[in-house]
A and B are shown apart, each in its own frame.
Chain A
Amino acid sequence: MKAKHVRPGEYGAVFKYVLLLPAVLWVVAFTFVPLIFVIHYSLANYVLGLGITDYVGLENYADVLASDRFWHSIMVTAAYVAISVPIEVVLGFTAAWLVNLGAPWSYGFRTVIGTPLFTMEVAIGYLGVTLFSSQGGLVPAVLGLAGVHVPWLSTAWGGIAAAILLDIWRWTSFVFVIVLAGLAGISSDLYDAAILDARNHWQVMWRLGVPLAWPVTTIAILLRTVECLKVFAIPYALTTGGPGTSTEVFSAMDYLTTVQFFNFGQGSAMGVIFLVMVAALLTVFFKQMRKRLA
């Protein structure tokens, strides 16, 4: 059963704009006006204390596109998203499905599993330093019992892995909360029918649960991907991009350039490039999603 749209022109011709317009104006004022500033800066050479010294055309863009550090940060970000988001979705969905079974005490499980959503990422990054440190850290101590020694904080891949683990801990709860709400909306009657011709529990989840929860899951994936592409606080607090710039994500690089060093020109240019790339990705992604949603 799909939602029906009220036929246009019947009523609400003005009303719909009254509802929509405040939100549109708000976003225009607080996003698109700043965006115009950003584009303006991206064409200029800015120096703290002097302001814009010169207009340099597309030179900032050319510099950014020619910068290894920029592309490296894009690769790190892409890898980060590609690894953490699927894991978060699978874990979050599974946890939501299990909790939704409504076993005794599931109320308690629900409360606990949703909690990381409310932690502050910077704090989690700092906590990660103590968790993964080879000097008294919990994770190396536990792994050490099994004879496994991972150089978490002294190598690039170790640092990224640690950041991704923290990210999974922090953000699985986001998928969990949304999917759980979606699953709860599915009527029990549907399971009745399904359980008769399914061989086991997992088949029901796979054949019935996943398709039914797909629309809500796509929203979770979409929002999570968008957020994860901007990932900043956890890896920044954990490794600040080091050793060298090997674990530097895009947002961290942009933050340093624009905010710490007041290089508005290049910082803005890389922001615009990033925006274009992500918008393209998102459009394709969203088109696919919409096919299923429509």
Chain B
Amino acid sequence: MGNVEKLEALIQGYLKGKIGRRDFVVGGLQLGLSLAVLTRLTAPARAANLMDSAPEAPYESPITQERVAFLKTKPFKGTTINVMVLKTTVGDGLKYHVPHWEEETGGKVNVAEVPIETLHQQIFSDLASGLGRYDAYMTGAWFYGDFFVPKTPYIVEIDKFQADPRHPYWDPDQWLPAMRKLYEWNGKLYGVLFDGDAQALYYRKDIFTDSKNQEKFKDKYGYSLPAPPKTMKELQDAAAFFTGWDWASDGGEGWGLALHAKVNEQGFFHFLSLSAPYVISPDNKYYFFNPQDMKPLINSEGHLRALEDYLKLANAGPREEISWTLGQGWNLFLAGRSAMEPTWGDLPTLAQDPKTSKVKGKMGAAGMPGTTEAFNPITGQWKKYELNQVGNTNGGSWHCVISRNSKKQEATYDFLAFMANKKNAFFNSTNGWTGVQPGMKFEYLPPVGTASLDEFKAQNWDADDAMEYLKGYYSVLSAPVQQEYLRIPGTAEYWHELDVNISAVLGGQMQPKAALDATAAAWEKITQRYGREKQKVLYQASFA
């Protein structure tokens, strides 16, 4: 065969799903084609094969012809797959699609709902004991390291399923790169699109743009009230400014910035996001460990300054917020008593419900403020920047992975991909109750994506709020400098040690320096238990 025929066979094979994307790329590279050419070659070729809808698949759009033919055979009749999910929010989001998939394919989905308290334990008990009762598990992105401890990972790659056009169509290239990383390991895809978490700064646009407030601020601080704050200094000033007086003019107490900082909850994510620009910069991507020797970086000068500044922000909210879970922190903002809150996309979503929110239509959103100076913990140097803003993917980014013990991997993948199909993925990200946030480009407004405000308005969104939310969220996820996400074995335990020590600082029981040193010491112990060399390899793999 000549090269042209080879290439043709290769493309045909790829399109018909006989060979996977990876093999296709490898084959293409062998033929001397560059990666860029290959990507361009496949994308339109696949797209040409797509239809907007088909009567066999009322719940999928777009859809391939192979999929339509496949569905005609009711391929999963008699097959029941077992999926373990998180109870409420993201679990409800998954459950919503079950009857639709069952209708199209003839399969059955048995959903076990497990509280967040025991999800990790349930998943790994099922895997480590060899019981294997479940085909797929809904996973927080920080569980990944634990999946890759055994020689044969607990979960399976999905590339070969993804390339098969008989399964529901979705395009991993639509992911924002920072988000895609959380679904991959060592460059290979393991997770099927569901949720995409990131922390952004939400603020009261109406209060920040109010001329009286602006004057008052300028008198006090000597510069214009920044809406939104761009640097940590501005954030601190704005937080302090709005604390302790009734700027809402409703007779209640006003606060500058609300946190949900209860220990053993998700409070430390605040610190991770807010401390990122003190350490992460165009010159350094390592936040947690030195990849050479797995020594903790957490007690570096940059982290220390970040923690000292974080403490200042904690004073701009009620003292009790150090014992608040998420809902309580959000509540202060939704009740119109807090001017700002750094948190997840749940907040603007919840703000749309007039029953619980007084701030509908008053939301502003932006990326996390940056710094003008960052510390590089690897070289031990501070360096000045004009503005060092860092994106993050902090949070769970909940999605399903397929168990290596599953005997029905194909059906399982089919169901998961069904929810990743554009129509369903879009449904998830616009409906607040699903707890799903957008991680794919098409979920954003043009020019980035293909979403339209009408779709948000149909879900009772305020148009301005939706625009702000998508803009702020996108700026976090698409920021060129991104904070790393810890995905090594034992991540939950590493985070826990950081969490309790930060909480002790907020509670006034520990000095920042001592707390970070204690964290580093505890991390060393955990690393020893897991084995330093093994951790190092997995840490590096989690970056690749």
Chain B residues closer than 8 Å to A246, beta-carbon distance: 504, 507, 509
Quick one: closest B residue to A240, CB to CB? B264
The listed residue (A134, A154, A260) touching B492 by CB distance below 8 A is: A260
Partner of A241, one of B120, B264, B319, B490: B264
Residues A243 and B496 in contact in the complex (CB < 8 Å), given A47-B529, A263-B529: no
Is A155 an interface residue, CB under 8 A from the partner?
yes
- In the complex the two chains form, what is the Cα distance from A151 to B508 in whole Å? 13
Which one of B149, B263, B323, B328 contacts A48 once the chains associate, using CB atoms below 8 Å? B149
Q: Is A242 an interface residue (CB 8 A)?
A: yes
Give the chain A neighbours of B492 by CB distance below 8 A: 260-261
Q: Which of B331, B489, B500, B504 contacts A47 (CB 8 A)?
A: B489
Let me know if B531 and A243 touch, CB within 8 A.
no
0/1 string, A150-193, CB within 8 A of B gives 1: 01011110010000000000000000000000000000000000
Check B318 for interface membership: any CB of A closer than 8 A: yes
Q: Does B138 contact A (CB under 8 A)?
A: no
In Å, the complex CA distance between A133 and B493 comes to 29
Docked Cα-Cα span, A48 to B531, in Å, equals 12
Distance A239 CA – B328 CA, assembled complex (angstroms): 14
A242 touches B262 (CB 8 A): yes
Bound: A134/B319 CA distance, A: 9
Chain B residues, Cβ within 8 Å of A48: 124, 128, 146, 149, 489-490
Residues in B312-342 with C-beta less than 8 Å from chain A: 318-320, 322-323, 328, 331-332
Kindly list chain B residues whose C-beta atoms are within 8 Å of the C-beta of A244: 263, 500-501, 503-505, 507, 509-510
In this assembly, does A259 line the interface, its C-beta being within 8 Å of a C-beta of chain B?
A: yes
Of A45, A53, A135, A242, the residue contacting B263 (CB under 8 A) is A242
CA distance A153 to B325 in the complex (A): 12
Q: Is there an interface contact between B264 and A242, defined as CB atoms closer than 8 Å?
A: yes
Chain B: CB-nearest residue to A243? B507
Across the interface, do B322 and A243 meet the contact criterion of CB distance under 8 Å? Answer: yes
How far, in Å, is A232 (CB) from chain B's closest CB?
12
A63-94 residues with Cβ-Cβ distance < 8 A to B are none
At the interface, yes or no: B121 with Cβ under 8 Å from chain A? yes
In the assembled complex, the Cα of A261 lies from the Cα of B145 at a distance in Å of: 13
Closest to A153 in B: B323
Partner of B323, one of A53, A159, A259: A159
Q: Does A6 contact B (CB under 8 A)?
A: no
Residues of B within 8 A of A256 (CB): 264, 496
CB closest residue in chain A, given B263:
A242
Write out the residue numbers on chain A whose beta carbons fall within 8 Å of the beta carbon of B505: 244
B150 within 8 A of A: yes
A203 within 8 A of B: no
User: Which of A53, A154, A243, A256: most chain B CB closer than 10 A?
Assistant: A243
Asked if B265 is at the interface (CB within 8 A of a chain A CB), the reply is yes
Question: Closest CB of chain B to A56's CB: distance in Å?
Answer: 10
B529 pairs with A241, CB closer than 8 A = no
| Contact status A47-B264, CB under 8 Å | no
B503-524 vs A, Cβ < 8 Å mask (1 yes, 0 no): 1111111100000000000000
Confirm or deny: A8 has a beta carbon within 8 angstroms of a beta carbon on chain B.
no
A134-B500 contact given A47-B149, A243-B263, A261-B490, CB 8 Å threshold: no
User: How far is A246 from B322 in the complex, measured between Cα atoms in Å?
Assistant: 13
Interface size for A (C-beta < 8 A) is 32
- Please report the total number of B residues contacting A with Cβ < 8 Å: 38
| Bound: A241/B328 CA distance, A | 18
A154 touching B149, Cβ below 8 Å: no
Q: Using an 8 Å CB-CB cutoff, how does the interface string of A47-59 with B read, 1 for contact, 0 for none?
A: 1111101000000
A53 CA to B529 CA, complexed, in Å:
9
Does A286 belong to the interface (CB within 8 Å)?
no
Which chain B positions have C-beta within 8 A of A50? Answer: 149-150
B530, CB-defined interface residue at 8 Å: yes
State the CA gap A133–B124 with chains docked (Å): 35
Interchain CA distance A178-B128 in the complex, whole Å: 43
Which single member of A45, A155, A240, A259 contacts B265 (CB below 8 Å)?
A240
Q: Which residue of B lies closest to A137 (CB)?
A: B320
* Cβ-defined partner of B154 (8 Å) among A45, A49, A129, A135: A49
Residue of A nearest to B335 (CB): A135
Residues B320 and A242 in contact, CB atoms below 8 Å apart: no
B507–A154 touching, CB < 8 Å: yes
How distant is the Cα of A275 from the Cα of B154 in the complex, in angstroms? 35
Known contacts A49-B150, A241-B263, A245-B504; is-contact A134 B490 (Cβ 8 Å) = no
Inter-subunit contact A242/B124 (CB<8 Å): no
Contact residues in A for B506 (Cβ distance below 8 Å): 243
Say yes or no: B531 contacts A242, CB within 8 Å.
no
* A residues less than 8 Å from B320 (CB atoms): 133-135, 151, 153-154
- Distance of B307 from chain A, by nearest CB (Å): 14
B128 near A49: Cβ-Cβ < 8 Å: yes
Inter-chain CA distance A259–B121, complex, in Å, is 7
Residues of A within 8 Å of B332, CB to CB, are 135
Q: Which residue of A lies closest to B505 (CB)?
A: A244
Q: Nearest chain B CB to A50's CB is how many angstroms away?
A: 6
Given that A47-B149, A49-B128, A154-B319 are known contacts, is A260 also in contact with B120, CB under 8 Å in the complex?
yes
Decide yes or no: A155 and B507 within 8 Å by CB, A47-B530, A242-B264 being known contacts. Answer: yes
A262 within 8 A of B: yes
- Residue of B320, B489, B506 ringed by the most chain A CB atoms within 10 A: B320
Taking A50-B150, A242-B264 as given, write out 17 further A-B residue pairs in contact, using a Cβ cutoff of 8 Å, ordered by the A residue number.
A48-B149, A49-B154, A51-B128, A135-B320, A135-B332, A154-B320, A156-B507, A243-B322, A243-B504, A244-B503, A245-B263, A245-B500, A256-B264, A256-B496, A260-B493, A263-B493, A265-B529
* 18 residue pairs bridging A and B, Cβ less than 8 Å apart: A47-B149, A47-B531, A48-B146, A53-B531, A133-B320, A151-B320, A154-B322, A239-B263, A240-B263, A240-B264, A242-B322, A242-B503, A243-B322, A243-B506, A244-B500, A244-B507, A256-B264, A260-B121
Which 7 residue pairs across A and B have the least CB separation, nearest first? A243-B507, A244-B504, A49-B149, A242-B263, A240-B264, A153-B323, A261-B493
